[in-house]
């Protein structure tokens, strides 16, 4: 059985200008394939370009050079609307600081990405609650973010990323603000999601999490090396 390629990046480069003359090569000649149901862990010291790579691969930011095929389409050629549609339909994000919206309850935070869509509200509610229960957040549906622990909030954020059934989830240091035990809980949940077909790329510092990876990519000054597990 061959797995479908979801993202194929070729010769990616990203440079930032700093000040008048200094140029930072945040990404330098990155070549990468991401398959469905695959989990990639992205390691590298601070400033090595992990976040930049996630941004570029997910279409949040444009690379300076290179191409990115997403399900066959080159997203570096996409216009604003196509990029919005990509985010609407195919990608989910999990952030280091969760980024839940304060005055929305857990279930509303999960539903939020779907508010602009034409899904009936009751169907949406059922779906969101089912997701929260799957992530072991029974009885937390109507709590506000500030009433929940970090791990609980991160699970809400994961449910929010999953509600659209994305093809890929991009997670930037999803365990960075959590204690080790909770971090492992989140990783196990991500792994389950991944096994069900969603590709996941995680940027992290935490070497303890190696065991969850299908593949490990290391970045150093924007250059990548791949490591078998």
Partner 1 sequence: MGKIRVLKKSIKFTVRSKRRFIVFLLIFAIVSSFVTFFINDIDTLQTDLYLEQKGLILNQRNEFSVFNNQSTRLLNEILDIKASGGLEAVENYAVSRYADLDAGLRIFSLDVKNPWMNADVNPSLIQQGKYPSTANEIMVPTGSFYFKSTSNNVAIKSDIVVGQVLEFFDGTDLIELTVVGTFDTSKMTQINVDVKEKLWIFLHDTTYDSMLDLYNIDEDASYTYSMSFVVPGLILSETTYQAINDLNDGIKVILSENNTDSYGIWASQAEFLPLEDSVKKATNTLVSLGFAVIGGIILSIMLSYLISRFRRREIAVLKALGYSNGSVRTTLVGEVLTTSISGFFVGMTLVQGILFYTSDFKFDNLLRWVAFLASFGIIVLITLPGIFLISRKILGVSPSEAFRDK
Ligand X SMILES: Nc1ncnc2c1ncn2[C@@H]1O[C@H](COP(=O)(O)OP(=O)(O)OP(=O)(O)O)[C@@H](O)[C@H]1O
- Give me the least distance between CB of 148 and Mg ion, in Å please: 24
Binding-site partner at residue 99 among Mg ion, partner 1, ligand X, none, CB < 5 to 8 Å by type? partner 1
Check residue 191 for interaction with partner 1 (CB under 8 A): no
Instruction: Pick out residues in 116-175 that bind partner 1 (CB under 8 A).
Output: 116-118, 121, 160, 164, 172
Tokens of 84: 């919005």
Instruction: Pick out residues in 50-109 that bind Mg ion (CB under 5 A).
Output: 51
Tokens of 52: 């930049």
For Mg ion, give the closer residue by CB, 51 or 109: 51
Strand 65-70 relative to strand 5-18, pairing = antiparallel
Q: How many residues bind ligand X (CB under 6 A)?
A: 12
Q: What is the CA radius of gyration of the chain?
A: 18
For ligand X, give the closer residue by CB, 47 or 197: 47
Check residue 153 for interaction with Mg ion (CB under 5 A): no
* Secondary structure letter of residue 3 according to DSSP: P
Check residue 52 for interaction with ligand X (CB under 6 A): yes
Chain residues in the site for ligand X (CB under 6 A): 16, 18, 24, 26, 44, 46-52
């Amino acid at each position: 059985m061959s797995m479908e390629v979801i993202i194929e990046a070729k010769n990616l480069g990203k440079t930032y200008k700093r000040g008048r003359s200094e140029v930072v090569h945040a990404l330098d000649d990155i070549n990468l394939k991401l398959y469905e149901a695959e989990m990639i862990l992205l390691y590298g010291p601070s400033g090595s370009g992990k976040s930049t790579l996630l941004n570029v691969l997910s279409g949040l930011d444009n690379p300076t050079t290179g191409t990115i095929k997403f399900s066959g389409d080159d997203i570096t050629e996409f216009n604003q609307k196509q990029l919005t549609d990509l985010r609407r339909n195919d990608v989910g994000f999990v952030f280091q600081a969760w980024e839940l919206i304060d005055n929305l309850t857990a279930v509303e935070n999960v539903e939020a990405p779907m508010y602009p869509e034409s899904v009936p509200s009751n169907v949406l509610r059922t779906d969101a609650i089912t997701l929260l229960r799957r992530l072991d957040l029974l009885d937390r549906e109507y709590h506000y973010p500030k009433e929940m622990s970090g791990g609980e909030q991160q699970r809400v954020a994961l449910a929010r990323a999953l509600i659209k059934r994305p093809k890929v989830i991009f997670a930037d240091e999803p365990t960075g603000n959590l204690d080790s035990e909770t971090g492992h809980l989140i990783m196990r949940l991500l792994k389950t999601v991944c096994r069900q077909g969603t590709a996941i790329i995680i940027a992290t510092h935490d070497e303890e999490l190696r065991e969850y990876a299908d593949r490990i990519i290391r970045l150093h000054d924007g250059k990548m090396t791949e490591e078998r597990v």
